[in-house]
Chain A
Amino acid sequence: MALKIVKGSIDRMFDKNLQDLVRGIRNHKEDEAKYISTCIDEIKQELKQDNIAVKANAVCKLTYLQMLGYDVSWAAFNIVEVMSSSKFTYKRIGYLAASQCFHESTDVIMLTTNQIRKDLSSPNQYDTGVALTGLSCFVTPDLARDLANDIMTLMSHTKPYIRKKAVLIMYKVFLKYPESLRPAFPRLKEKLEDPDPGVQSAAVNVICELARRNPKNYLSLAPLFFKLMTSSTNNWVLIKIIKLFGALTPLEPRLGKKLIEPLTNLIHSTSAMSLLYECVNTVIAVLISLSSGMPNHSASIQLCVQKLRILIEDSDQNLKYLGLLAMSKILKTHPKSVQSHKDLILQCLDDKDESIRLRALDLLYGMVSKKNLMEIVKKLMLHVDKAEGTTYRDELLTKIIDICSQSNYQYITNFEWYISILVELTRLEGTRHGHLIASQMLDVAIRVKAIRVFAVAQMATLLDNAHLLTGNMQRKGICEVLYAAAWICGEFSEHLENPMQTLEAMLRPKVATLPGHIQAVYVQNAAKLFATVLKSQEGNTESTAAQETSQLMIDRLPLFVQSANLEVQERASCILQLVKYIQKLQQKDVEVSEEVSALFAGELNPVAPKAQKKVPVPEGLDLDAWINEPPSESESEDEQPKAIFAKEEPKHSRPRHTEVDEKELARRREARKQEQANNPFYIKASPSSQKVYQEGPGVEHIPVVQIDLSVPLKVPGLPMSDQYVKLEEERRQKERAEKKKKEKKKRKEKRSGRGKKHDSGPESEEDITPAHMVDIVTEEMPENALPSDDDEKDPNDPHKALDIDLDKPLADSEKLPVRSHRAAEAPKSPTEDGDAESAALQEPKKKSSKEKREKKKDKERDRKKSKEEKKKKKHKHEEKEEDLLGGQADEPAVQSEETSEVAAPPTSTSAEVSDLDFWLSNAPVPSNTQEAATVAAEEAAPVPEAASGTAPDSEPDEPKDTEMEESKSSKHKKKKQKKEKEEKEKKKKKKHHHHHHHSDGGGGEESVQNGTVEDEEPLPPMSNYCLLAENSYIKMVNDIQGNLQDGSQVVVSVIFENKCESFLKSMEFNVLDSLNSKLQRPEGSGPHDGLTVPFQLPPGVSNEARFVFTVQSIVMPQKLKGTLTFIVKVGR
């Protein structure tokens, strides 16, 4: 033993520690890999020792090596060993290593569950902290499921250090184990009002992150966050809250209205740029969500745009960048206000920072109009010329095309100009975007019929000068344009001025150096041109010319027949044979042109990219069903085909084989795509790339003869786009002049008309007419295509699973798994116990509350009727039931709320929504401060059954009406009153006391209540009592506390205060039990019996009574109704 100790110590003397390792690596710069491999060998030796200190040291070194990029996954088990050391020193290193090296597929993770659980419950907060930190990095669905309950418990830890970590890690847990969200959410919500700012900000963080992904489930928290926003001074928290509101507002425009004011205040007041930026962003989001064109919000937009302008003008590049970024958001909805800053944005195009230029480009995209398109594009073209560095120039190129082609070429008034822009772009050196230009050319030529003559002429010139495009190696990207040129010339060859010349250009031997797919198009379209040429030549009765043309084809096509590209070869040999046949016919003097052109008759129309997807599946067609019997799995591919087919096989084998192959390929491609779509890590192609041509295989390897051009390229005969700008200007001027004339005429005609409303101000968008009558062929969709936009959602988004309704009560199946098999664990908290039972009882409870509400509604309806009836009758009715709150309620607001209630099915969620409605619709009209407070209070109640009780019922003209304040946790009171004025000695009052509280085992409930109390009523600071009910006779305040001895019990202390001049006696307190909470009654009494309050109250005296409730679930907010009956002893 002693020897071993000595040996261990000596070993360690020679151990390298981390510092040594780092130093060693720095000293072995030239043979680092070799040095590290020896180090790793040493580490492996160290890990074999029993000494945990040595192991920890080794693991520490491994972590460093891992960072340098070396694979250390082989040591995963050793890391777990170090993690489970009882010493914090080693544990810390172990967890660090784990958090750096482990990921979901590390299999040893499952060994760590119990260790982590042990650490989580460690008395040392740093053990717990280190475990939580580590867990946040490598939590797996299994770990999340197993540990969710432990972490949830930690959220209520006494130390804020642990609480905040536990709260933050819950977000990771939710992501991995979405089922935990609903059970944990109430506690998370509680943490929003945690006394520790760190915990509070953690909770805000988590809820903000959750809400950003699924905002609609968090709308009901808006009032709470609103309060936090207006009270918090911590910018970190404020930014998160404001971000959260940014996510919520699109769902609830009224929330936006409410937010505008505080946000603009913040914008004005804050000095923190990050906060300012966040506010501006959220205001923009709000403005987007509000219907545009609201006059009272134009000020906010102006404010934002102004602030952003200041940012953009700032010398700080960061602010400039962000200003532009935010500006582009405004642009979408309020283009006008941004367009006035065009100068500034164009200026940014000259910035030396590329990111800024790119952002400015983005902005330009939205700023164009019919009026300024040409001007802007002209500026961009200048930048294209100036731009050094191909990436930026390519970006400019794509932007120009984007800008021009946006919303179906909406802003292009002159397509000749656009075509010449495209042609000019082909002169760019070394762009990668030849195919983009090509597709634009094709698109425009196909869709804009009027432009075809012009386009064809331009394309013919391009083809004629093809050598300029293909000559230089660097220009290979641009030769894609020839694809478009050839196709356009072929397809619309009837517009060609000199088809023969073009045909010749297309059959030049140099064409054979082009990429295969372009050659194929050349060959095919040469055939089309040939048809056109034949037609014209036969018409001229010059048969020799026609025969010469055929001869030309026959001479030139063999070059393509020899092509290495299959497609070219196949087409060329087909067409060659065809031409030979035609020549034979021509020699017999047969007119063939009609038949030849019939080959290419018919118009090609554009088809929408999603058209195929949108064809509805005919009824009764199951696309997944097998058409033939599926081949059995066991059948191997080598198996001999059956005899019958074997005989026939040889005949068809070739064509069939290829066909099957193609199908198979297609199928595999589909399967692969599917796989890629389902693989979250696969970087999906952007949708725009679908339009892009498939580039021919191996374009790069085709040898191209280089021609060095020292002179800048100017293709003769090609138009300059600039001339169009001038022409356009002139044209517009002319138009304007004509218009004026017309207007003058008009004005002359009706002289008596209104004054000079139409003065010659700047022309509006509509005034600019296109230069050509253009009909833009839109993309074709199949008949009865289904309008569906759901194809944009990513089914793999992990946040999708968190789209959970948080307002629904918890069901039994939803509780978090709690370990039960280990005896050594800490005793489960009794409240948790109750949770299980109560969860089982939730459903029926909900039902019963529904029923209740329905009943109540009936009553309300009755009451309404009764209002219309005579007063006496009404009096009677009111004796039965009278709402005490209504007197204070703002009439229209409540009305609206009521209607929403009636309309919606009376589930708790709808009530919740209507509650939010209430908050939203009311608060902006602060006519009655008390009212606002009431509303806020009501909001705090998670299950606002109370809402139905706020019907505007009580009459202000009732003198005896006892007005009762709504208390903070929205404890409602209803009261039955019997008023018999004649009888002086006794007045018997029945009070329906309808009281709901979230009893919470005494834990977090108080904090929630206190939170809402503050702004409502000044209470003595030390008191936790809050108002329960009040009328002119009695005031009740209550406090709820958990029973320390019995966790399933809640003690409600109620202070009764006699407010009148008379003696109160025979008080009886009764609460209608719910399934979840029951009033404890003495043995022998029935479930509906009231409890006698054990004292009488002389005038002005107060006394306290305690009532015990058994509660079964702490996670559920609770509402209870109750009554207090008492006798007022008057006089004598």
Chain B
Amino acid sequence: MRFLLLFSRQGKLRLQKWFKTYTDREKKKVIRDMTMLVLARPPRSCNFLQWRDLKIVYKRYASLYFCAGLEAQDNELLSLEVLHRYVELLDRYFGNVCELDIIFNFEKAYFILDEFLMGGEVMETSKAAVVVSMEEADTLQETMEEYMSKPAY
């Protein structure tokens, strides 16, 4: 997988993850092309697109589009499952996840993604393992309230 983008129906980017180095200009170009291509797709058409040398796999969950760029040999169906698994993980973490959860806790969304994928490859295939490591890591993290009430020095 080369990249993963989350954007809203209005074309607002909600999350971007690049598994291969792109320059900022290329990133912008990819994001623009993806939102244009994917949003223009009529409903009930297939979830795959060919874009330059990449296969684009996207899926819409409520108002959010999940869009991944794959290399030629990657398995499209598997990537759909990856996207779905990520949504499941988000759902499990936030509890009935919605777009606002991802907007306001975007760093968490990233952390979950990092526990699930790494360098574009699936790192952990077990849902439970991801959730456990997320929770454990979170216990290490202080909450905002703690942060506010801590003395500064």
Task: Tell me the minimal C-beta distance from B112 to chain A in angstroms.
Answer: 11
Chain B residues near A1019: list those with CB within 8 A. Answer: none
Query: Which chain B residues lie closer than 8 Å to A977 at the CB level?
Result: none
Most buried by B among A60, A198, A278, A320: A198
In the assembled complex, A209 has its CB within 8 A of some CB on chain B = yes
Distance in Å from the Cβ of B70 to the closest Cβ of chain A?
Answer: 12
Question: Contact: A8 with B45, CB < 8 Å?
Answer: no
For residue A743, give the distance in angstroms from its CB to the closest CB of chain B: 49
Given the complex, which residues of A lie within 8 Å of B148, measured CB to CB?
A: 12-13
Q: List 6 A-B contacts (CB under 8 A).
A: A5-B151, A17-B144, A88-B140, A206-B121, A318-B47, A355-B45
Contact of B152 among A5, A100, A165, A172 (CB under 8 A): A5
Are the C-beta atoms of A92 and B137 separated by less than 8 Å? yes
CB–CB B45/A317 < 8 A: yes
Q: A63 — which chain B residues lie within 8 A by C-beta? A: 106-107
Contact A198 B125, beta carbon cutoff 8 Å? yes
B63 on the A face (CB < 8 A): no
Q: A198 and B136: CB pair below 8 A?
A: no
Q: Counting CB contacts under 8 A, is B131 at the interface? A: no
Q: Contacts of A268 on B, CB cut-off 8 Å? A: none
Residues facing B in A110-137 (CB within 8 A) are 124, 126, 129-130, 132-133, 136-137
Q: Mark A192-207, 1 if CB is under 8 A from B, else 0.
A: 0000011001100110
- Within 8 Å CB of A165, what residues of B? 118, 123
Cβ contact within 8 Å between B49 and A355 = yes
B46 touches A136 (CB 8 A): no
Q: In this assembly, does B122 line the interface, its C-beta being within 8 Å of a C-beta of chain A?
A: yes
* Residue of A68, A92, A358 with highest tally of chain B CB at under 10 A: A92
Residue contact B103 to A22, C-beta cutoff 8 Å: yes
Beyond A8-B152, A239-B78, whether A198 also contacts B107 by CB under 8 A is: no
> When the two chains form the complex, which single residue of B15, B48, B119, B123 contacts A67, counting CB atoms closer than 8 Å?
B15
A285 to chain B, nearest CB (A): 10
Q: Given A22-B104, A89-B141, A277-B77, is A164 in contact with B46 using a C-beta cutoff of 8 Å?
A: no
> Given A8-B152, A198-B126, A322-B77, A353–B45 Cβ distance below 8 Å?
yes
Q: Does B16 contact A (CB under 8 A)?
A: yes
In the complex, what residues of B have CB within 8 A of residue A104's CB? Answer: 21
The residue that A277 contacts in the complex, of B14, B75, B153, with Cβ under 8 A, is B75
CB 8 Å contact bits of A127-158 with B (1 = contact, 0 = none): 00110110011000000000000000000000
CB–CB A169/B119 < 8 A: yes
Q: Are B48 and A103 in contact (CB under 8 A)?
A: no
Shortest CB–CB separation between residue A645 and chain B, in angstroms?
46
Within 8 A of B (CB), among A1-52: 4-5, 8-9, 11-13, 17-19, 22, 51
Contact across chains for B141 and A88 when beta carbons are under 8 A apart = yes
Residue interface mask B1-39, A partner, CB < 8 A = 1 = 000000000000111101101111010100100000000
CB distance from A158 to the nearest CB of B (A): 16
Contact assessment for A355 and B13 in the assembled complex, using a CB-CB cutoff below 8 Å: no
- CB pair B15–A356 under 8 Å, yes or no, is no
Q: Known interface pairs A67-B106, A69-B28. Does A205 touch B122 (Cβ–Cβ under 8 Å)? A: yes
Please measure, in the bound complex, the distance between the C-alpha atom of A786 and the C-alpha atom of B10, giving whole angstroms: 56
Contacts A53-B150, A54-B152, A198-B125; A169 near B45 (Cβ below 8 A)? no
Interface residue A273 (Cβ < 8 Å from any Cβ of B): yes
Question: Across the interface, which residues of B come within 8 angstroms of A51, CB to CB?
Answer: 152-153
Q: Are B125 and A201 in contact (CB under 8 A)?
A: yes
B126's nearest neighbour on chain A, judged by CB, is: A198
B10 → chain A, closest Cβ, in Å?
11
14 additional contacts (CB under 8 A) given A206-B121, A353-B45: A4-B153, A11-B152, A51-B153, A67-B13, A88-B141, A92-B141, A93-B107, A136-B118, A137-B18, A165-B118, A198-B123, A202-B121, A205-B122, A277-B77
Q: Which residues of the other chain, A, contact B151 by a CB distance below 8 angstroms? A: 5, 8-9
Task: Let me know if B119 and A171 touch, CB within 8 A.
Answer: yes
B121 to chain A minimum Cβ distance, whole angstroms, is 5
A700 at interface, CB cutoff 8 A: no
Q: Does A1129 count as interface, using CB distance less than 8 angstroms?
A: no
Number of A-B contacts (CB under 8 A): 167
The complex places the Cα of A4 from the Cα of B104 at a distance, in Å, of 31
Asked if B42 lies at the interface with its beta carbon under 8 angstroms from chain A, I say yes
Q: Are B76 and A322 interface neighbours, CB within 8 A?
A: yes
Question: Which of A54, A130, A201, A243 contacts B75, CB < 8 Å?
Answer: A243
Q: How far, in angstroms, from A54 to B136 measured CA to CA in the complex?
A: 24
Q: Is there a chain B Cβ closer than 8 Å to A623's Cβ?
A: no
What are the residues of chain B within 8 A of A674 when measuring CB–CB?
Answer: none
B residues apposed to A, CB below 8 Å: 13-16, 18-19, 21-24, 26, 28, 31, 42, 44-50, 52, 73, 75-78, 80-81, 103-104, 106-107, 110-111, 114, 118-119, 121-126, 129, 133, 136-137, 140-142, 144, 147-148, 150-153
CA distance A505 to B72 in the complex (A): 51
Instruction: Report the Cα distance A281→B124, complex, angstroms.
Output: 25
Tell whether A71 pairs with B121 under 8 Å between CB atoms, given A64-B106, A93-B107: no
Assuming the A-B contacts A92-B111, A168-B119, A168-B121, are A681 and B23 also in contact, with contact meaning beta carbons closer than 8 angstroms in the complex? yes
Determine if A96 is an interface residue (Cβ-Cβ < 8 Å). Answer: yes
User: Is A1095's beta carbon under 8 Å from chain B?
Assistant: no
B16 touches A67 (CB 8 A): yes
Q: Is the CB of A352 within 8 A of B42?
A: yes
Judge whether B21 and A103 touch: CB under 8 Å: yes
Q: Does A212 contact B (CB under 8 A)?
A: yes
**Selected contact of A274 from candidates B23, B77, B110, B137, CB within 8 Å:** B77
Q: Provided the pairs A239-B75, A274-B78 are in contact, do residues A168 and B46 lie with their beta carbons within 8 angstroms? A: no
Interface centre among B106, B118, B141 (most CB of A within 10 A): B118
A693 at the interface (CB under 8 A from B): no
| Shortest Cβ gap from A103 to chain B (Å) | 5
> Does A18 lie within 8 Å of B104, measured CB to CB?
yes
Q: Is the CB of B152 within 8 A of A9?
A: yes
Cβ contact within 8 Å between B125 and A234: yes
Docked Cα-Cα span, A237 to B78, in Å, equals 11
CB-nearest residue of chain A relative to B52?
A683
User: CB within 8 A of A201: which of B21, B122, B142?
Assistant: B122
Report the bound CA distance from A124 to B42 in whole Å.
Answer: 49
Report Cα–Cα, A358/B45, bound state, in Å. 13
B42 partner residues in chain A, CB cutoff 8 A: 352-353
B23: nearest chain-A partner, CB-CB: A681
Asked if residues A198 and B121 are in contact (CB atoms below 8 Å), the reply is no
Q: Are B121 and A278 in contact (CB under 8 A)?
A: no
A103 adjacent to B140 (CB under 8 Å) = no
For B107, what are the chain A residues with a Cβ–Cβ distance below 8 Å? 18, 60, 63, 92-93, 96
- The 5 lowest CB-CB distance pairs between A and B, nearest first, are A8-B152, A274-B77, A317-B46, A353-B45, A321-B46
Indicate with 1 or 0, residue by residue over A380-400, a CB within 8 angstroms of chain B CB atoms: 000000000000000000000
Could you say which residues of chain B place their CB within 8 Å of the CB of A9? 151-152
A900 to B13: give the CA distance in the assembly, Å: 59
* Cα of A12 to Cα of B145 in the assembled complex, Å: 12
Q: How far is the CA of A836 from the CA of B78 in the complex (A)?
A: 43
